[in-house]
Amino acid sequence: MDGNGRWARRRGLPRIAGHRRGTENLRRVLRAAVEFDIKILTIYAFSTENWGRPEEEVQGLLSILRHMIDREVPELHEQGVRLCHLGRMERLPMKLEQRILDAIELTKDNDRLTLNVAFNYGGRAEIVDAIREIIAEGLPAEEVDEALVSNHLSTAGQPDPDLIIRTSGEMRLSNFLIWQAAYAEFYTTPTLWPDFDKGELYAALEDFNQRERRFGQVPGRSQD
């Protein structure tokens, strides 16, 4: 969800104002996702590298997440949205961690849409954590395969993403789902995240529907 800071700067506002606007925008994107029958939506809210931003901005982002959970989770629960957290809990304030765990528990049985919130998340850190878990379980090397690694990731039990949308014209993954995105389609738009709306999401889906997904095979051959 890139471009919050630029959106604010263009309006002479502090960066945190852009992050607040971006959080508010999530509501309309979620409504559109439900309308378009998207079953799993993952948002990249805060990376492991974002801790290096100015302290005021970091604390502002943590505050926004707290307010978002308090304000939005009851409605999301009513709408049948299941919340999942991707990333590490370490470094998060204890009260915020508990809010996240409570939201996950409250919505765990919902099945209309799964919303993965990647907060304190990094693709490389996720893979490192998976390897550590596998080693801790004492599994022999010959049992390690792609399925085993996938089952130790934050997205265990979920399919790999079909489409990754990057706003604000950026052309990189920025450490996002780097294992899961091996064969995802990539779509970028110059639109800044706070301005990304239902029409923008529809355009991304239309573009995706025109793609020929080969998964490493030659055109026209079965992927079975």
Q: Is the pLDDT of residue 207 over 70?
A: yes
Q: Is the pLDDT of residue 224 over 60?
A: no
Q: What CATH number should be reported for the domain whose range is 4-207?
A: 3.40.1180.10
Question: Which residue ranges make up each domain of the chain?
Answer: 4-207
Tokens of 73: 């989770």
Among residues 50, 162, 175, 207, the one annotated as catalytic is: 50
Q: What does the alpha-carbon distance between residue 217 and residue 52 come to, in Å, rounded to a whole number?
A: 41
Whether residue 25 lies in the annotated active site: no
Whether residue 116 lies in the annotated active site: no
Q: How far is CA 67 from CA 1, 20, 60, 192, 222, in A?
A: 18, 10, 11, 23, 48
For residue 47, the SS3 value is strand
Record the pTM.
Answer: 0.90
For residue 83, the SS3 value is strand
What does the pLDDT look like over 34-85, one tens digit per residue?
999 999 999 999 999 999 999 988 998 899 889 889 989 999 999 999 999 9
Give the gyration radius of the chain's Cα atoms. Answer: 18
Among residues 2, 25, 116, 120, the one annotated as catalytic is: 2
